Amino acid sequence: MTPEYHIEIGAEPTGGCPCCDPDAAAPQGFLLHAGAAHAIYYADWLDNGPVTGVDLVVATGRWDADSGPQHRQAAAFRLNRTGTGADIVACDAGASRWRDLALLGRLLAAGEVPAEMAEIARFVADADPRIRAALRRTVGSDYRLSLGRGRGRAKAGANRRI
């Protein structure tokens, strides 16, 4: 049985705070599981030309008033364009552009990413119309995001196909 997920679209990217973190992005969305806060996600892509891929980070864990980063973990992903859709690749979250956002919690290496987080990344990529539109830009308008699990060995470096 597939868990019941729902996203709430968050703020558009703002470029961060000019005084304390100009590279930060506003949360792009929130994920609810069975009606409760379960994750946040940030996404980034080239916005002034053809899109070759989307970088995504997903942080899961507790989001109640008594929780903090110690109750969360974050995984980074790269959605890469293929001829028929997109592949999802787990990346080292500690090397991502969001590595300095403490609220995300523990940053996972590509080899540590649990299946649930990859499933959430797939869901977010398909459910957020901004991500779908970004990935649609270099393909025809009938493009439908299709994230497969990928096969074969892990890629060299800190990335792992999911």
The domain spans of the chain are 41-140+147-161
Q: Is 149 helix (H, G, I), strand (E, B) or coil?
A: coil
For residue 49, what is the DSSP state? S
């019941």: which residue's tokens? 4
Q: In the prediction, which pLDDT does 126 show?
A: 86
Pairing of strands 72-81, 106-107: parallel
* Helix segments in 75-114, DSSP class H: none
Given pLDDT bands bounded at 50, 70 and 90, which one contains residue 136?
confident
Residue 112 or residue 10, greater confidence: 112
pLDDT over threshold 50, residue 159? yes
Which residue from 81, 107, 89 is spatially nearest to 157, judged by alpha carbons? 89
How does pLDDT run across 34-79, given as a tens digit for each residue?
889 999 999 987 666 666 788 999 999 999 999 999 999 999 999 8
Asked which of 56-65, 87-96, 125-134 is least confident by mean pLDDT, the reply is 125-134
